[in-house]
Structure 1
């Protein structure tokens, strides 16, 4: 039995979920930070960023799978099983779309677009607030801080909507159909990441309303 499994064995069964969720949130913060930093200094001929995002995405899949395993094995949970399912799936979606964004930026060989890094910064800020929200959700010890983080995530999503609108207006003025198609796809994938973060924030807010 590995150290991680030994640790889990001595945890109260409902606490295992928060251990896993905090690990998921930490992974998302690291992933989004590397994604943002990678886009600031992006090389179309270097697939290092894509490989890193793939590694993070696989790790997120493993963590999500472990949450579902624990959900199947444990009768006692810290909140509704359905909410655990929504929260785990929503967090995994964020990682999936970050990876997809990185993949299409690389595969399309898209030119440098400043809005990409604007989106990635909003994504990273959203992931940091998700980490804060999940930390404060543990034991429902600080519902006010949870709600504050959720409000910030919603505001980041609103800013992302504006970034997308302005970027598309500028993009369509380029009169380059192929480039428009490629860049528009990437911009929309990036915007979806902020949508997914907002979805998770809404799930967390609903949990707080039920239990705090």
Structure 2
């Protein structure tokens, strides 16, 4: 969690500010993050919550202000930014960030924005060699427990590919000179996900005892694999049509994909004890469903804007934009499928 100090009291706060004229709330949040903290990234249109605090105005008044908080997946840290001489910025763990702020409601909100071990390991698994090493550990563990299989470890390993693939997709839709590298990473992550999916299917066939019904296991890993398959198809369309600039609605959908991957990566380890974690699992899947609905709205708005801009004057450009929007929407839809599979497991086992 990236925090900055306030100008006057130098206490640790989130980058924040008033709504920017002409910008949506999440775009305003991204604007403030760049201005105050010098970071650029994919801002998810779905807020994670709100908190209130008392703000002292220049005229001496002290008024309550409500702040909506949006998650931003940082893709670039600037060396120079507008308020660098006025504030300090620092990365905190979630627990340290919650303890560093003065506002109790904000502290509670930060604690609710959970990061599981698999999310953190996703940031560490940066190349195929480390993934391969992880497979060696899975095979070793399976040798010790041949009757049960390591389904949970495989689910969580697949979540690593979802996080990495969604991050690469968000960077891809930022444009710039590194697009080819981001496309290649998505392809590599999809191949890694395929390897994990095959491992799950083989393990289902050779395992006597499984934690859930066999069809539930294959349906869950299948829905997860469909998600990253759609990411690859999105990248493939961008590469095929040599698209280098992207509408804000496309970037917003990519930001939703990033946050959806994070939520799924948090949910999967909780399946190890469904009964104890049923409430949190329901919260996560409910949020995923809401995000899918918001992605549908953004998709419709983006298509309409693209048609007005290019439908009559540049039909080919509109068709290309429509295909990219379609792929992005399907990624979010597949994440909703994962949420539904998890909900089914909660209903059956909690």
- TM-score bracket for this pair, using the shorter chain length: over 0.9
TM-score, normalised to structure 1's length? 0.94
Structure 1 pair 69–180 and aligned structure 2 pair: CA distance change class (3 A): same
Partner of 2:153: 19
SS at 1:173 equivalent: helix
Q: Tell me the number of residue pairs that the alignment of Structure 1 and Structure 2 aligns.
A: 211
Structure 1 pair 128–46 and aligned structure 2 pair: CA distance change class (3 A): closer
* Maintained 8 Å contact 1:133/1:147: no
Q: Is 1:136 the counterpart of 2:291 in the alignment? A: no
Q: Distance in 1 between matches of 2:195 and 2:262?
A: 21
Shift of 1:50: 1.4
Structure 1 pair 161–2 and aligned structure 2 pair: CA distance change class (3 A): closer
- Structure 1 gap ranges (5+): none
Which of the pair has the greater relative contact order for Cα pairs under 8 Å at 6+ separation?
A: 1
Q: Distance in 2 between matches of 1:95 and 1:69?
A: 20
Partner of 1:165: 300
1:1-212 alignment, distance < 5 Å: 2-11=136-145, 13-14=147-148, 16-43=150-177, 46-110=179-243, 111-140=245-274, 141-174=276-309, 175=312, 176-212=314-350
Shift of 1:71: 0.3
Q: Distance in 2 between matches of 1:129 and 1:159?
A: 16
* Maintained 8 Å contact 2:270/2:281: yes
Shift of 1:179: 0.4
RMSD of aligned alpha carbons: 1.7
Shift of 1:46: 4.5
* Maintained 8 Å contact 2:169/2:182: yes
- Structure 2 gap ranges (5+): 1-134
* 1:161-183 alpha-carbon deviations (Å, 9 max, x no partner): 01111001101112320000001
Question: Where do 4+ consecutive residues of structure 1 move more than 6 Å?
Answer: none
